[in-house]
Structure 1
């Protein structure tokens, strides 16, 4: 198409930010009691992420609730986030839009996202269960003709599918792929992605982002030395595109900066390593690991509700709710790890964000 977008069309400051690695929260959905978009609170969330120091926003993704499509809200949600971000800040922000479904749907969503100022599409392949690698790569190549892509390895527990090394090697070789969010919550599968990018010799074009909310610190500080050409090439995970980072975002920005500095200086302290299980403990509560991730979205909403950014925990799917005992677990981790929260920051700014 004449309006197709290549990664070289991304504004240079935005592309630089994406490649250096940044904090990209997966944007939640603020719903009114009538289950429509609560425009005021949705806008407040966007403002919160920007003021917290996030380098981008991911909208229309799992944390936004995939059901926005069934309710005809996809375009409205993307438009509101993009417009709110542009009105609130003029600094570079990486805008990522979730793309789902079979090829026709994913292409249509890419065209909508592109028209609304998004820079890349996050490719969910949940609709391709039982498809061959050839079929999935063909699909990705077609969508990549519309706009730059982020790969997305979504964990099977919330609807993702297993994607082998060969898929990632071929996906990384697609010219218009700019990044991959790795969220299989699985060390072996994460390594398949990193090896695939190295095998495709795409490490300078494809930036790795962690989506492994259960291993955030470890992902950000570990060098991946991958065998190639009789030696080793080192790849690093440079940023995070995370549902976990939709809450306590100011603390997440500080954590990311600390991890990147340690990685750059090759100095990882015991104190930094100790944060890894602490962040994972927080995630267990937020994502309701004890109940098979049933309350993953609701857990994030509960934190935002307690801070006043949301007025209630509301999800489009009746099955998305807090599990018994989950609220107590959220209270436990918030009390145990206050250095990983940002309640004071939110309290200072909430009135301004809701204005």
Structure 2
């Protein structure tokens, strides 16, 4: 598939809003194509700069040969975005043979970059990890992914991130360990790689979104900023997330002091995320939590997951009621209701 003249690299490097795209299912746990398309339309109408498909929120089970949804789901999003200046990111995981196969699929469908998970290579020596990265980078540009251990990630030390950032095909890193020490390992590794100006840093720390986007970092006299977000949290209430992101970028780029209201907002967003992602139960209800919000808004027919055992934790629905009522300035229900009929048509 030929790509347009859209300069996705420049847009991505400047900083963007990229929701992690969920999976729309019917009550029989089959792909709901109409609602899958509606989600992509929602994100574009909300002002997102692209989408990431085939990632954690899209459910890793789409890769199961008995389910076979990896290529169909990526294809649906690609079709919806064909005429739009939108960044297309494909989630890629598995050992090298599988990852190369997924990457080739994404490339053939017109995706711009691969969000590369290394979870399947847990325990592998660093040279093997870097060889794996280089194999993917021969096909498509790479966005690194530091996934938190609670949902399948592994600890990746400073020396890994220094080596990873040195790979020429790496264009960005999604920093999502939900850990401040590990976050700083990534930043320092990028600073020491010599490629800091070439790598876009994105927050995936859904528990620390606002502060990540406001902070400046310095290592060895190299100044760094996290310029965008590729987030599961932004798969819901996206219109408001885009508005807040634009405001935060203005603040981050200014030389003025930080208004304390942003510190309060950071706590509010984290409170919402703790419920949405089910932090109290080690993130068991993360994907159902996202799907439940989209179901309440009418975008999904239900909160079903491919794995029947994956559902909201006890008390999570009530906690969702609480944060939605407490933080009306962080939701976009009115925007969705005004436009949902068009998205579902």
TM-score of the pair, normalised by structure 1 = 0.94
CA distance in 2, matches of 1:10, 1:188: 40
Match of 1:247 among 228, 236, 243: 236
Is the partner of 1:214 in helix, strand or coil? coil
Is the partner of 2:303 in helix, strand or coil? coil
CA distance in 1, matches of 2:324, 2:341: 22
Match of 2:330 among 319, 340, 343: 340
CA distance in 2, matches of 1:318, 1:158: 17
CA distance in 2, matches of 1:203, 1:259: 22
Distance of aligned partners of 1:223 and 1:11 in 2 relative to their CA distance in 1, 3 Å threshold: farther
TM-score of the pair, normalised by structure 2 = 0.97
Distance of aligned partners of 1:10 and 1:164 in 2 relative to their CA distance in 1, 3 Å threshold: farther
The CA deviation at 1:272 is 1.6
1:44-55 pair list within 5 angstroms: 44-55=38-49
CA distance in 2, matches of 1:226, 1:276: 24
Provide the residue aligned with 1:31 in structure 2.
25
Provide the residue aligned with 1:316 in structure 2.
306
* Contact 2:6–2:85 (CA under 8 A) maintained in structure 1: no
Is the partner of 2:144 in helix, strand or coil? strand
CA distance in 2, matches of 1:205, 1:266: 23
1:61-76 pair list within 5 angstroms: 61-70=55-64, 71-76=67-72
The CA deviation at 1:318 is 2.3
The answer to whether 1:113 aligns with 2:106 is yes
CA distance in 2, matches of 1:320, 1:193: 31
Is the partner of 1:152 in helix, strand or coil? strand
* Contact 2:19–2:51 (CA under 8 A) maintained in structure 1: yes
Is the partner of 1:314 in helix, strand or coil? coil
1:243-322 pair list within 5 angstroms: 243-267=232-256, 268-322=258-312
Is the partner of 2:175 in helix, strand or coil? strand
The runs of 4+ residues in structure 1 deviating greater than 4 Å are 9-12
1:182-201 pair list within 5 angstroms: 182-201=175-194
* Contact 2:217–2:224 (CA under 8 A) maintained in structure 1: yes
CA distance in 2, matches of 1:162, 1:266: 35
The CA deviation at 1:34 is 2.2
1:148-187 pair list within 5 angstroms: 148-187=141-180
1:73-92 pair list within 5 angstroms: 73-86=69-82, 90-92=83-85
* Residue-pair matches, total: 342
CA distance in 1, matches of 2:313, 2:160: 35
Consecutive unaligned residues of structure 1, counting only runs of 5 or more, are none
CA distance in 1, matches of 2:152, 2:327: 30
